[in-house]
Amino acid sequence: MKIQLTDEAAEKINDKIAGQKGFLKLKYDIEGCGCVVSGIPTLWYVTKPDEIEDVTVETNSLPILVEKSKTVFLDEELKIDFSSNSNTFQLKSPGQILNGRMNFILFPEE
């Protein structure tokens, strides 16, 4: 899997984490979706990786954690962008927009 962050997305992520220690995670969130295939990609900033499920994907900027079991729902090439028009992150691949209004959830330090 290859993930690229645009300069604007990397800058917005760094602004949001404001120097906190943690890990950026591309979470395939299925909470409240009713079915695993109806999940929504979301950006999380977590204090520690899930040692069993998470794998690290190196990017052109920040490393990103991805759940091994959920990679089947993601494309092989991904780009995380930031839209200043909608003030949201976007997850794109060469063939589609996976989430045009992707949330960023910052989990507080423990």
For residue 105, the model assigns a pLDDT of 92
For residue 58, the model assigns a pLDDT of 94
Its CATH class, for the domain covering 2-106, is mainly beta
For residue 25, the model assigns a pLDDT of 95
For residue 19, the model assigns a pLDDT of 85
- Domain ranges within the chain, ordered by starting residue: 2-106
For residue 45, the model assigns a pLDDT of 95
- For the whole model, what pTM was predicted? 0.87
Question: How buried is residue 18: exposed, middle or buried, by Cβ count under 10 Å (0-12/13-18/19+)?
Answer: exposed
Q: For the chain, list residues with pLDDT below 50.
A: 34
